[in-house]
Structures are given as C-alpha cells and as structure tokens.
Chain A
Amino acid sequence: MSDVLVLMEGIEKTFPGVHALKQCRFELRSGEVHALLGENGAGKSTLMKILSGVYPKDAGKIIYKGKEVEIPNTKAAQDLGISIIFQELNLIPHLTVAQNVFIGREPRKGVRFILNEKEINEKTQKILDMMNLDIDPRAKVSELTVAKQQMVEIAKALSLNSEVLIMDEPTAALTDSEIEDLFRIIRDLKKKGVGIIYISHRLEEIGIISDRITVMRDGEYIDTVPTKDVTTEQIIKMMVGREIYVTSEANSESSKNEVVLEVKNLNRGRAIKDVSFKLRKGEILGFAGLMGAGRTEVARAIFGADPIDSGEIYVNGKKVNIKQPIDAVKHGIGYLSEDRKQFGLMLNLDVEQNTVIASLENYSKFGWINKNKTRMDTNKWIEALKIKTPSLEQKVRNLSGGNQQKVVLGKWLTRDCNILIFDEPTRGIDVGAKSEIYKLMNKLVAEGKSIIMISSELPEILRMSHRVLVMCEGRITGELSYEEATQERIMEYATSRSK
C-alpha cells in the first residue's frame, strides 16, 4: 500500500460543556478514499476541522508526511496542501467562479494591488477543463446549481495543489448523475495520489467509492477497516453500537379515511403547474422527484410562504384562504423546512423557546408568558420525541441535526397541527436519528395526523410513504400506491419531462 500521508493521534477537543473528541486517531494514505463515519455528534466534522485548521486542538499530534505539524488556521492547512469542502459550501455567492477559486491568492499585475482578472479566468478554465466540467469561470457562483458549486469547491482545492482533500457530505444535494460526475473526479484525483477523506451518511456510496472506513462514536475512535471486508450492517452496528432497522408500517388502511387536505389546480409561475391532490387522515403521502421538480414550492405554497397565482385549498372539506403562514397554522398545517437552520429554528433561542414560539398565545395572558406551563409542555415533548438535550435552556444551535429536527416537530405538535409537511426530514441526519424520525412519523399517523413527506432519497420514499406522488418540472407526473411504487417507476415519472 502507499505511504501514510496524515496521521492524527491522541486528538483531544473540548467545547464548553462538551467533550467533543477523546483520544482520537485517524490515518490517511496517499491515493486512497478514506470514509469517516459516525452518527451526528460523533465528532467527525470536529476532527476534520482540526485537520483543516478551523479549530485548534487541545492535545494530541498531527503528523503530515512524516513530520509533526501545527495547523493553527485554514491558511496553514492550505499551505501544507490540506483542503476541506464543507457541507455548507463556503463559496462567496456574489463573486465569480474564478474569483472564488483564487480568493486569497489573486495574481496581481503591474502595481502590487491591481488584480489580474484575465489570468485567474484562464487558470480556472484550465482546471475546469481538466475536470471535464462545463462551467464558465466568469459566471457568478450564486447562479450555479449546488452540484456545480460543489465542483467549484473541488476546483479551488485542486488549484491549491492539495494532497489531502476532505469532503463533508459532498453528495447531500446532488442527483444521481451529478454523483457520477463527482465520483469520476474523485477517481481521477486518487490516481494522482491525492488522499481523500470522505464524510457521508449514505452508506451505499461509501461502499462504492471508499477504500477504507474509520468509524467514530460519541467523540471516540472505534475502528478502521478495509471497505471490502465489512457489510453495511456491521458498519451501522459500529456506528450506533446496536443493531437497528426501520420497518415500515405503511398500509392501505388510510386510503379509506376522510380527506383532510385537498389541493385543486394550484399554479405558481413556472414552479407549480396545475397541481391537484388529496391527503387523507392518517396517511403519509410521499412527494418524490428530482431537485427543482417543484415539491418544496408546492409545500411552501400550501403553507402560505409564497404567493400563488391560482388554485384552491380545502382543509377538512372546507375551502380555506391561505395568504401567509399564520393562516396555514390556524388551519393546523405545520411545515418542517428542508433548511431547518434558516427557516425552522431560532438557533440562538433555547429548546423551550423554540418549542412554544408558534403557540405563545396559548401560554400567555396579557402578554405575560406562563413559564410553568411552557416548561411542562416542553418537557412533555422532549420526552415524547426523545429529544437529546442537557436542559430546556440549551440553545438549539448546540443540538445535533436530528434533535434540531425533533424540536421543529415539537413546535408544530405543541401548536396542535394535524397536517404536517416534512420537507427532506432526514437530510444531514445520521442513521440512528433517522430511524427515530421514521418511528415518530409512524406514531403520528397512527394517532390520526397526516403527513406530506418530500424526500429525494428513494429508499425513504419507498419505505415510508403510503402513497407516492411524483413531480417533474412543476407538474404531478405520476401517482403510485405503496404496492406499485418501485425505484424504477418513480424515476420514470420523475424524468418524464413535458415537451
């Protein structure tokens, strides 16, 4: 096997109140793809942020190409040849592709301070050509798709001559064909001897792309194994410390129940075209489709977050006029956004404040909040939803993704919402927490609530939905019952573009 590129040993890191890393170890060889696995909060990202100079380590040593090094900041990491591509992409939206690629090391011309735009455009074009990508170096990053933005991040790393490339959840926002492109680029990099650290929750991908796997749990190093020697079940067991598998409780019972939500001929610009459907009591209605198919737009329209051009919405058989989210909430509709951090939570407020924020009038008299009552109810949901938090006063910012999602859910349940729209409910959530969310969804529909679930993960759609609607380019292109739904049929509808 090839040489050891990076060796991290005895890494310790403590944040206020959290012992994030305990005696962690990690080894990367040149020319390998090394998957780093673990549930959210296991410490993967923290460990990688230490390697890339975002956080300083408290103790331990990093040996890079046989020499012990200190990496106090991102610049130092870059200089060594270590680049990280964050889950939340760190590009500057208002600048062009080339400007982003060369940020911080712009070539100058003439006088020291004048930038050489031509040179960076040419150099960036060369890198993009090498990667076989059709991206204009002069295009603004904000105008690119997420997939292309990701490629720009990789181009940036390549332009730095990185020998270590860390990718945190690189495929979270990509379609299958875009993932293919990414894998092609990763394989090219491997051949050139670049060591790649790959963090992902998608175990199928790990099996395809990685050579070795290191598993972490609760801030501790568990083991490193060659990918070909382990099964998915073994990995999951290592990650969660127990065996889990979510079983579907989907059945056709709900198809006889009364309709709680009906949408008729919904239209909004080019995003939503003539969408009509019914949601029944106790049903999980899956919305499948590719990114940008219009699923989120439909959800936002129903929730009153975006204005609609035309269409009617009926709740429990009565026509309702939903102009803003407050109208939707009054009719018992709750929306769990795909972007929890931006739309679902007040990150700087604590668990209790977030839980009751949508129902404050039920907890207050003349503007005074009844603290006892809010505390009691929040505790009730923490228990019912199994929210892992040290206290009611913990800021939501400090919770893991899965627990944040549960807090949003708690918020709508506190408000007595009977129609819940889950938009990508498990995005960026680890395996263990995923199954808990699934269980919660099953429990909620068993209690007579109804769920619309938008998801880009087909296994999730197939496993959880009682009925599946498929969207493509703003239209509903197909409806499949639980029995009829297969990966192939969904993909067929999802790509049946109109002429």
Chain B
Amino acid sequence: MGNKGANGKSLLRSDATQKLMAFGTLIVLVIVFSLASPNFLKFNNIVSIILSTAVNGVLAVGVTFVIVTGGIDLSIGTTMTFASVIGGVLISFWKLPVIVGVLGALAAGALVGLISGTIIAKLKMPPFIATLGMMMVTKGLSLVISGTKPIYFNEAKAYGKIAMGSVLGQIIPGFNIPNAVIIFLLMSVAASLILTKTSLGRYDFALGSNEEATRLSGINVDKWKMAIYALSGLFCGIAGILMSSRLNSAQPALGQGYELEAIAAVVIGGTSLNGGEGTILGTVIGAFIMSVLTNGLRILSVKQEWQTVVIGIVVIFAVYADLLRRRNK
C-alpha cells in the first residue's frame, strides 16, 4: 500500500491537527466576536464566559472518561441536580455543616455513577439504555426528595462562596476570579492526569479500543467500568455543587439537557464516540467553544432560540470535520 512511514510521528501529527482545529475554531470565534462587539473582550465578560463554562465543563470532563470507553452517560445532567438536592437536604433541612453537605453531594453523584456502571458492567446492559433509565430515576428522585420546590441555602452563607467567592482574590488583591473557575481548571488538570498517567486512564483507553482484548489480558473489565462511571458521577457531584452554590439554591427541575451539551462539548473536542480516543484538553476547548458561542451570540443580541440552532449546526460541523480527518488518516 505504500504507507511505509507509518510510525509514531504521523499519528502525533494527526493528534495535533485535531487539537489545533478545535483550538483554531475557538480563536476564530473569539476574534470574530471581539471585532463584532467591543464588549466581548472585557475582563468581566471573559470571567463570565469562563464561569458559564465551569458547570458544563466539569460535566463534560467527567463524561469524557465514559465516552473514551465507547460508552455514554445520559444521566449526568440529572445526576448533577440530584447531587445538589442531596447537598441541599443535608445543609438546609438537616442543618448539618456545609462540608458534610458538600461531601454528601459528591458521594451522591459518585453513587449514581457507580449504580449506572454496575448495571452496565454486571447486567451487560447497553450504556445508552442503562443511563437513560438512571436519568429518569435521578430526575424523579430529585423532585421527590425536594418536594418539587427549590432548596435555598440562605442560612449557610459559606455555601454560596464555594462557587462565587474568590480565594485567589484574597491572595492576590484585585484578581477576583471566582472559585468556580479555579475549581473547573483544577479539575480539568486532575482529570487530564488521571486519563494519561494512571492505570484507570490506561484501562479506559484499552476498554474503548478493544474490550475483549482487555478482558483477555487478565484485566477486571467490570471493576474498571464501574470505577469509570463512578468517576463520571463524582464530576456530576462537583458540577452540582458549583451550580447550586452559584444559584444559592438546589433547583430540582433543572438538569435535563445539560448532558447533551456536555456530550456535545466532548465531541467538539475531538473525542471519538466510538471510544479509544480522546483528550481532556480537547473537551475543555470544546466546552469553551460552546460557551463563547452562546455568550458572543447573546452580546450580538441574537435571540436565544436562534442561539440553540447555531450551536446545533456547530456540533454537526465539528463531528463532520472529525470524520473527514479520520477518513484521511
């Protein structure tokens, strides 16, 4: 066939193109919007973009692990809500310390993920169906537990500070970047390290690349799958805390729809829905593309309905571009 130069280099090149393309898109968007509106590049607007990326970004980073296995998790949006409702119950109903509420929310998210993972690994259910079911379960439970009403954190002032306070601003005066932004970036770095440097990350790619071969290599496939879904659930818990802290309330009716935005961010970032490939950096860029678009269109006074249409088209283009890249390989 003549492709003798098939070595590590050509692959590096294609990986680089993938990242460059997503990153290039992001840069182009930023340039276009800053030319179109002088308000776009203002410090406050940039912080607001990153802030609005945080929740979707954390969800997307978490679900990247699942998508790399070749699976999908449709329950992340409602799991996020469920986790925040649990936090709300612990803090506002039971008057427990904020830290207990935070840990409770994280545990709730991880537990839901673990259950999804168990259903998928042990009952051999397709991830699409298992997590669709869990999406409904968590949505319903959130409404039941909260009594269908928002739970406010009015008495626990510290809770609101988790997302909107600024630890950095206290250290470096004037540099008032909200904690949510810092948490999002730290989580992304942590996730990236987990995906590339740890056994969980290695088996993640192995599962998505060739599950049978992974099993025959003597690896406990079920255990790792469950761990990966639980990890994704844990990220839902983090997202739930950020979200409810920012809104100063756990909103039980919110959440559905977030999963699709997160998955879109992952796909825009070049992670293959077939599994075996993907990067956290790509996902982060993908999440930024989504929020820059939303923010930019809003600044240009494009109606919200049309914003959704534009984002839909962008998702289709992103996936098509990725397909073209793969075909040329």
Q: Could you list which residues of chain A lie within 8 angstroms of chain B, going by C-beta atoms?
A: 54, 73-75, 78, 86, 90-95, 99, 103-104, 106, 108, 113-115, 136, 138-140, 143-144, 270-271, 292, 294, 297, 473-474
Contacts and interface: CB of A to CB of B under 8 A. Distances in A.
B1 A93 contact: no
B276 A93 contact: yes
Given A90-B213, A114-B197, A104 B219 contact: yes
- Best-surrounded residue of B1, B3, B10 (most CB of chain A within 10 A): B1
B96 to A, nearest CB: 31
B202 interface: yes
Interface in B199-213: 199-200, 202, 205-206, 208-210, 212-213
A292 B6 CA distance: 14
B163 to A, nearest CB: 28
A91 B206 CA distance: 9
Given A106-B202, A114-B197, A90 B1 contact: no
Contact of B202 (A74, A86, A115): A115
Given A78-B218, A143-B7, A294-B1, A92 B197 contact: no
Nearest to B8: A139
Among all A-B residue pairs, the 7 with the closest Cβ atoms: A75-B218, A90-B213, A270-B2, A94-B209, A94-B276, A113-B198, A92-B209
A175 to B, nearest CB: 14
B199 A139 contact: no
Contacts of B214: 92, 103
A294 B1 CA distance: 6
Interface in B265-317: 276-277
B218 A104 contact: yes
B99 interface: no
B8 A138 contact: yes
Given A94-B206, A103-B214, A113-B198, 15 more contacts: A86-B216, A91-B210, A91-B213, A93-B209, A94-B208, A95-B202, A95-B206, A103-B217, A106-B199, A113-B199, A143-B10, A143-B11, A270-B3, A292-B2, A474-B1
Contact of B11 (A108, A140, A294): A140
B interface majority secondary structure: helix
A212 to B, nearest CB: 27
B69 to A, nearest CB: 12
Contacts of B10: 143
Nearest to B5: A143
B104 to A, nearest CB: 25
Contacts of A113: 198-200
B135 to A, nearest CB: 28
Contacts of B3: 270
Contacts of A143: 6-8, 10-11
- Best-surrounded residue of A95, A114, A271 (most CB of chain B within 10 A): A95
Nearest to B201: A115
B218 A73 contact: yes
Contacts of B208: 94
Contacts of A90: 210, 212-213, 216-217
Contacts of B276: 93-94
Nearest to B220: A75
Contacts of A92: 205-206, 209-210, 213-214, 217
- Best-surrounded residue of B210, B217, B276 (most CB of chain A within 10 A): B217
Interface residues of B, number: 28
Given A103-B214, A270-B1, A94 B7 contact: no
A473 B216 contact: no
A8 to B, nearest CB: 20
A74 B215 CA distance: 8
A292 B214 CA distance: 28
Interface string B3-25: 10011101100000000000000
A31 to B, nearest CB: 26
Contacts of A91: 210, 213
Nearest to A91: B213
Contacts of B210: 90-93
B197 A94 contact: no
Nearest to B68: A94
Given A90-B212, A93-B210, A115-B198, A104 B7 contact: no
Contact of B205 (A95, A106, A144): A95
Contact of B197 (A75, A115, A270, A294): A115
A193 to B, nearest CB: 23
B202 A103 contact: yes
B199 A136 contact: no
A216 B42 CA distance: 78
B198 A114 contact: yes
Nearest to B198: A113
12 contacts: A54-B216, A73-B218, A74-B218, A90-B210, A94-B209, A103-B219, A138-B8, A140-B8, A143-B11, A270-B1, A292-B1, A292-B2
A115 B212 CA distance: 22
Interface string B167-211: 000000000000000000000000000000111101001101110
A93 B2 CA distance: 20
Given A92-B209, A92-B214, A474 B2 contact: yes
Contact of B1 (A73, A144, A297): A297
Nearest to B2: A270
A51 to B, nearest CB: 14
A106 B206 CA distance: 13
A473 B198 contact: no
Contacts of A115: 197-199, 202
A63 to B, nearest CB: 22
Contacts of B206: 92, 94-95, 103
Nearest to A54: B216
Nearest to A75: B218
A91 B219 CA distance: 13
A424 B3 CA distance: 22
Contacts of B8: 136, 138-140, 143
A70 to B, nearest CB: 16
Interface string B205-247: 1101110111111110000000000000000000000000000
